[in-house]
């Protein structure tokens, strides 16, 4: 079977229309990162900037600039006169990324249960609800992007900007190929609702329960969200 042309690969993506944003380059880059993480942009596939621009309903320039940003991050590579190819990550690399996230996020979020005012957690509730709403709609790109914002904003409550930046970089490199199947079978909602449950536990100050839920939640990254059975 001959490989799909860049335009055919793009036609299969469920990308949002982005007219009117102040920084189209940044918005396009965020949407593309989310599409990469969600597995809608597959390793080895080549995507052209003009074809992507048509899906976003914007000009090709901010899309090309955004793809070059992703190339600098190692998420895609330039294919001369064709576009950009999604780079591949091995299972080992994805496991290492997940292990680092677990080492950082579980103890950090657990510590937030003791000493952070309850209203700080409550300010994150709209984001948690947005994750649930995206899961109900089956909007995987929005799900990944809002999930990213929620977790980074939650970690920011620890007051360590370098930690937040590190986790942000790790999240960009993750791949969650199982999200599509979970959404199609209506099983993504349960994972989404864990964000609301986490906020409730943080407000109650139950550090042990927070740690347990965080371990369970992050296990999805290389379990059901990755498209393989959880251990």
Q: What is the pLDDT of residue 170?
A: 93
Q: What is the pLDDT of residue 54?
A: 92
Q: Do 171 and 80 share a domain, yes or no?
A: no
Q: Do 72 and 39 share a domain, yes or no?
A: yes
Q: Do 56 and 102 share a domain, yes or no?
A: no
Q: Do 51 and 110 share a domain, yes or no?
A: no
Please check whether residue 34 lies inside any domain of the structure. Answer: yes
The residue-averaged pLDDT of 191-214 equals 96
Please check whether residue 231 lies inside any domain of the structure. Answer: no
Q: What is the pLDDT of residue 24?
A: 86
Residue, of 200 and 11, whose pLDDT is higher? 200
Query: pLDDT for 7-55, tens place per residue?
Result: 666 766 777 665 544 588 889 998 998 888 888 888 889 999 999 999 9
Q: What is the CATH classification number for the domain harbouring 209?
A: 1.20.120.530
Q: What is the pLDDT of residue 6?
A: 64
Q: Do 217 and 198 share a domain, yes or no?
A: yes
DSSP the chain: -PPPPHHHHHHT--PPP-TT-S-HHHHHHHHHHHHHHHTSS-TT-EE-HHHHHHHHTS-HHHHHHHHHHHHHTTSEEEETTTEEEEPP--HHHHHHHHHHHHHHHHHHHHHHTTTS-HHHHHTTHHHHHHHHHHHHHT-HHHHHHHHHHHHHHHHHTTS-HHHHHHHHHHHHH---TTHHHHHHTT-HHHHHHHHHHHHHHHHHT-HHHHHHHHHHHHHGGGTGGGTS---
Q: What is the CATH classification number for the domain harbouring 37?
A: 1.10.10.10
* pLDDT surpassing 60 at residue 156: yes
Mean of all residue pLDDT scores within the chain:
88
Q: What is the pLDDT of residue 229?
A: 37
Q: Do 22 and 103 share a domain, yes or no?
A: no
Q: Do 117 and 72 share a domain, yes or no?
A: no
Instruction: Report how many domains make up the chain.
Output: 2
The residue-averaged pLDDT of 173-184 equals 81
Domain residue limits at 46: 6-86
Q: What is the pLDDT of residue 23?
A: 81
Q: Do 134 and 194 share a domain, yes or no?
A: yes
Q: Do 74 and 171 share a domain, yes or no?
A: no
The residue-averaged pLDDT of 64-88 equals 92
Domain-ending residue, one of 86, 121, 139: 86
* pLDDT surpassing 90 at residue 147: yes
Please check whether residue 208 lies inside any domain of the structure. Answer: yes
* pLDDT surpassing 70 at residue 189: yes
């Amino acid at each position: 079977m001959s490989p799909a042309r860049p335009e055919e690969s793009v036609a299969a993506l469920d990308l949002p229309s982005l007219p009117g944003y102040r920084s189209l380059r940044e918005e396009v880059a965020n949407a593309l990162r989310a599409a990469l993480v969600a597995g809608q942009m597959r390793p080895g596939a080549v995507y052209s900037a003009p074809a992507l621009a048509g899906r976003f309903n914007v000009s090709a320039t901010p899309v090309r600039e955004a793809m070059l940003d992703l190339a600098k991050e190692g998420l895609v590579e330039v294919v001369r006169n064709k576009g950009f190819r999604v780079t591949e990550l091995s299972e080992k690399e994805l496991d290492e990324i997940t292990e680092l996230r677990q080492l950082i996020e579980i103890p950090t979020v657990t510590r937030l249960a003791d000493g952070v005012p309850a209203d700080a957690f409550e300010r994150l509730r709209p984001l948690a609800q947005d994750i649930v709403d995206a899961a109900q709609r089956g909007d995987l790109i929005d799900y990944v992007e809002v999930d990213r914002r929620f977790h980074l904003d939650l970690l920011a409550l620890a007051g360590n900007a370098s930690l937040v930046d590190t986790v942000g970089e790790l999240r960009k490199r993750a791949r969650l190929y199982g999200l599509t199947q979970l959404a199609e079978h209506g099983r993504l909602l349960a994972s989404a609702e864990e964000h609301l449950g986490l906020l409730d536990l943080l407000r109650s100050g139950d550090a042990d329960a927070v740690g347990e839920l965080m371990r369970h939640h992050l296990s999805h990254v290389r379990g059901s969200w990755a498209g393989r059975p959880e251990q």
